[in-house]
Amino acid sequence: MRKIGVPVGVALILVWCLLPVVWIISLSFKSQSAITNGSPGFFPASGDGAGWANYVDVIENDQFRRAILNSIGISLIATLLSVIIATLAAYAIARLEFKGKKFVLTMALAIAMFPVVSLVGPLFDMWRSIGLYDTWPGLIIPYMSFTLPLAIWTLSAFFREIPWELEQAAQVDGATSWQAFRKVIVPLAAPGVFTAAILTFFFAWNDFVFGISLTSTENARPIPAALSFFVGQDPFNRPASLLAAGAVVSTIPIIVIVLLFQRKIVAGLTSGAVKG
Amino acid sequence: MAAITMKNIVKKYGDGFPAVNDVSIDVADGEFLILVGPSGCGKSTLLRMIVGLEDITDGDMLIGDRRVNDLAPRDRNLAMVFQNYALYPHLTVYENIAFPLRLAGADEKTIDEKVRAASSTLELDEHLERKPGNLSGGQRQRVAMGRAIVRDADAFLFDEPLSNLDAKLRGQMRTEISRLQKRLGITTVYVTHDQVEAMTLGDRVAVLKRGILQQLASPRELYENPGNLFVAGFIGSPPMNFLPATLEGTTVKLPFGTVEISADKAEKAAGRDLLIAGIRPDHFDDASVVDDSKLEHGSTFRTTVEVVEWLGNEAYAYIPFEAPPQVQEQLAQLERDLDGESLRTQLVVSLDSASTVAEGDEAEIWVDTRRMHLFDPATGENLTVDREHAGEIPALAMEAAAEQPAAAG
């Protein structure tokens, strides 16, 4: 019974999760007219198939290419900065005793709880008056402020797990505090760092609210916002198959990044450091 | 290599409690010094102050001629082996050992030579490419030592390095450390709570209690001439027996009978109503198996043996006795200091394995009165200590002991 139960359960969950994804892939291979006429089948009916035409159209579209570039650039910069700052902050919180430590942690949590929508209005106003509207930094900053708290919490939990003796041993062995941090602590916290990086990247890549409110041109517009502006020639007849192809293309980077980072998140890296 | 000099070292934490109080110890160049005491006695704190992981509240710490109070650990050129080894889990054994050399900026050839020399000394050659996580406890311990010996450090510091190993391995590593230290001739400070390690490894042993140095002497001096009740009770296994005693002339009255002591000892202890007599288990024996020539150095008494533990090479006999409340209180306090529980007062006697005394027998027990010490029950001070053969007994230890009953009461 158990032997059958597990694969059946796994299959059910997979179908549940992957059906929309598979469906959008199916859509992206149908021609525009086929969708307008109604094409209920999973596989395109004969003559309705578009082959790679939708993908070629999407990639040849300047707006779309620019949006992909914006998204990758903004997300990577936000992730990088956020992880660096979070690593340093989390290390300080885990290892140092200072006044206001509790305050920092509570504030971080409070900020993470803030509804995104409530900040869009004031940010729109502020960014316009200080010239950050429709620029990369204009999106990087809010992304960082929403991902930093989570990254700090995740990372400080990781740092607390690392035995302090390791750092002390490094110092006795002749390392400066910075060397001990860089050569011993950071490699050991790598799984945590990559976890934080993935979470941050997700948030930045998937964000729509900031993306659509704080940009006005393709200067800084990220993919989710750009897709919504993707109307084609006829505004009353949106090119669904093109949009589907665009959605598939915009999912690829995130899959690549997750697969890359996932290999770094190896559990039990610290085993063997100390007797335990 | 260098001597380590501690001058009136004090460590106070935020709440003002002195974890280490006015400790002065000179460790000679090449000497093996042991810091020993029950948990919370400040021995690890003292070690961490030497290496620079704890700030020194007051006093001077000198390594060689250099005052190191304000130097960072990396500037003190000391090598330390941590209790939990603190190996870098993301590095191979080779890189773990090479770590201090890489930080010092040594070139690749020197690093390779030194790492391979250290690994062959410690028999780690076949494990060089493995990660610490895949090694056994003993192997990890050796890697930690390798990381220490690969540098030309001024001194080695060990923080209870063997406490995580099983009994057999501990014995092997103990002799290994001893051999290594003798071969390298490097100044070593070794913290332990295990008195077997303290007795076997050290050139000198510093016994600490609640941050105060009690006695600094060679293992033999500590065993034969303990400065106070605490040291007497801490050193030796099974521990020294403490019996209530009264002195009249040169006759000491013990719960089991009277014994004679030498005139000069009696003189030192005279003038007190009640004393605590300290006699080690191995200074007793079954009178029937003691040589006549030895017999005359001591006294004998008859008593009933309650329990006998026969171990093959010797046997322990247990004989219960009643102690007056004054003595009992001091002994209960002593047990607390030693991390023990105060059980009922009983005499432990080590018998020759040839002895046929059985449980419940009435036996004639011989006691070597030359080795008996008399302690002041109020202060715990050893009144009959042979100061010339007792190393250093700091005055502060005596003062603190004198204050203690008042504080406890």
**pLDDT higher than 70, residue B308:** yes
> Are A269 and B89 within 8 A, CB to CB?
yes
Residues of chain A with CATH 1.10.3720.10: 61-262
Q: What local confidence, expressed as pLDDT, does residue B379 receive?
A: 84
The number of angstroms, rounded, from the C-alpha of B332 to the middle of its chain's C-alpha atoms is: 21
The residue type of B123 is E
pLDDT band at residue B396 under the 50/70/90 scheme: low
Q: Mean per-residue pLDDT for A115-141?
A: 89
B 93-112 residues inside an 8 A Cβ radius of A: 99-100, 103-104
pTM of the model: 0.79
**pLDDT higher than 70, residue B336:** yes
**pLDDT higher than 80, residue A20:** yes
**pLDDT higher than 50, residue A204:** yes
Chain A: closest CA distance from residue B95 (Å): 12
Three-state DSSP class for residue B92: coil
Per cent of chain A over pLDDT 90 is 18
* Nearest-CB residue to B51 (from A172, A187, A269): A172
Best of A164, A166, A172, A179 to mutate (most B CBs within 10 Å, chain B): A172
Q: Tell me which residues of chain A have a C-beta less than 8 Å from any C-beta of chain B.
A: 163, 165-166, 168-176, 179, 183-184, 187-188, 268-276
> Are B84 and A272 within 8 A, CB to CB?
no
Q: What residues of chain A lie within 8 A of the CB of B132, using their CB? A: 272-273
- Domains of chain B (ranges, CATH numbers): 4-221 (3.40.50.300), 237-383 (no CATH)
Q: What local confidence, expressed as pLDDT, does residue B407 receive?
A: 40
> Are B100 and A184 within 8 A, CB to CB?
no
Q: Mean per-residue pLDDT for A32-55?
A: 73
**pLDDT higher than 50, residue B408:** no
Give one DSSP letter per residue of A144-161, joined into a string: HHHHHHHHHHHHHHHHHH
pLDDT band at residue B168 under the 50/70/90 scheme: confident
Three-state DSSP class for residue B145: helix
Q: Mean per-residue pLDDT for B230-245?
A: 88
> Are B88 and A166 within 8 A, CB to CB?
yes
**pLDDT higher than 70, residue B116:** yes
The DSSP code for B38 is S
Q: What local confidence, expressed as pLDDT, does residue B405 receive?
A: 47
Q: Mean per-residue pLDDT for B279-286?
A: 90
Q: Which residues contact B186 (CB under 8 A, 6 or more apart)?
A: B1, B30, B153, B155, B156
Question: Which residue intervals of chain A are DSSP H helices?
Answer: 2-28, 32-36, 53-60, 62-95, 101-113, 116-130, 136-161, 164-172, 177-180, 186-206, 209-213, 223-228, 240-262
Q: Mean per-residue pLDDT for B199-205?
A: 92
Residues in chain A: 276
Chain A: closest CA distance from residue B11 (Å): 19
* Nearest-CB residue to B103 (from A173, A271, A276): A173
The residue type of B350 is S
The beta-strand segments (E) located in B181-265 are: 187-192, 204-209, 212-217, 241-248, 251-254, 257-260
> Are A168 and B82 within 8 A, CB to CB?
yes
Q: Which residue has the higher pLDDT, A139 or B339?
A: A139
Q: Which residues contact A219 (CB under 8 A, 6 or more apart)?
A: A70, A134, A135
Q: What residues of chain A lie within 8 A of the CB of B72, using their CB? A: 171, 176
- Among A81-90, B109-118, B268-277, which is the least confidently predicted range? B268-277
**C-alpha to C-alpha distance for A47 and A34, rounded to whole angstroms:** 9
Q: What residues of chain A lie within 8 A of the CB of B85, using their CB? A: 273-275
Torsion of CA B178, B184, B188, B191, to 10 degrees: -30
Three-state DSSP class for residue A47: coil
Q: Which tens digit of pLDDT belongs to each residue from A212-252? A: 888 888 888 888 888 887 766 666 667 788 888 888 888 88
Q: Mean per-residue pLDDT for B192-202?
A: 89
Question: Which chain A residue has its CA at the smallest distance from B50's CA?
Answer: A172
Q: What local confidence, expressed as pLDDT, does residue B81 receive?
A: 92
Q: Which tens digit of pLDDT belongs to each residue from B208-236? A: 998 899 999 999 999 999 988 899 988 88
Per cent of chain B over pLDDT 70 is 95
Q: What residues of chain B lie within 8 A of the CB of A168, using their CB? A: 53, 73, 82, 86
CB proximity B136 to A under 8 Å: no
**C-alpha to C-alpha distance for B334 and B281, rounded to whole angstroms:** 18
> Are A173 and B85 within 8 A, CB to CB?
no
What number of H helices and E strands is found in chain B?
12, 21
**pLDDT higher than 70, residue A265:** no
Per cent of chain B over pLDDT 90 is 33
**pLDDT higher than 60, residue A266:** no
Cβ atoms within 10 Å, residue A240: 18
Q: What local confidence, expressed as pLDDT, does residue B399 receive?
A: 63
pLDDT band at residue A23 under the 50/70/90 scheme: confident
Strands B307-310 and B314-320: antiparallel
> Are B140 and A179 within 8 A, CB to CB?
no
CB proximity B92 to A under 8 Å: no
**C-alpha to C-alpha distance for A43 and A32, rounded to whole angstroms:** 14
The number of angstroms, rounded, from the C-alpha of B109 to the middle of its chain's C-alpha atoms is: 42
Rounded alpha-carbon distances, angstroms, from residue B203 to B2, B5, B187, B402: 16, 16, 11, 29
Q: What local confidence, expressed as pLDDT, does residue A115 receive?
A: 85
Torsion of CA A67, A71, A73, A74, to 10 degrees: 120
**pLDDT higher than 60, residue B37:** yes
pLDDT band at residue B80 under the 50/70/90 scheme: very high
**pLDDT higher than 50, residue A272:** no
Question: Chain-wide mean pLDDT for chain B?
Answer: 87
Q: Mean per-residue pLDDT for B27-50?
A: 91
Complex ipTM more than 0.85, yes or no = no
Picking from B51, B35, B32, B34, the residue whose alpha carbon sits closest to that of residue B43 is B35
Q: What local confidence, expressed as pLDDT, does residue B406 receive?
A: 41
CATH topology classification for A61-262: MetI-like fold (1.10.3720)
3-state secondary structure B292-316: HHHHCCCEEEEEECCEEEECCCEEE
Q: What local confidence, expressed as pLDDT, does residue B335 receive?
A: 84
Which tokens belong to B176?
């290994």
Strand partners, B247: B252
> Are A166 and B137 within 8 A, CB to CB?
no
Q: What local confidence, expressed as pLDDT, does residue A271 receive?
A: 44
> Are B135 and A272 within 8 A, CB to CB?
yes
Chain A: closest CA distance from residue B239 (Å): 31
Contact of A158 with A95, CB cutoff 8 Å: no
Chain A: closest CA distance from residue B24 (Å): 23
Question: Which chain B residue has its CA at the smallest distance from A176's CA?
Answer: B74
Q: What local confidence, expressed as pLDDT, does residue B215 receive?
A: 92
H or E element, residue B9? strand B4-12
Q: What residues of chain A lie within 8 A of the CB of B73, using their CB? A: 168, 171-172
Contact of A230 with A196, CB cutoff 8 Å: no
* Nearest-CB residue to A275 (from B84, B100, B147): B84
**pLDDT higher than 60, residue B403:** no
Picking from B241, B245, B223, the residue whose alpha carbon sits closest to that of residue B317 is B241
Q: In the A/B pair of chains, how many CB contacts fall below 8 A? A: 85
Give the count of alpha carbons within 13 A of A92, CB side only: 13
Q: Mean per-residue pLDDT for A30-49?
A: 72
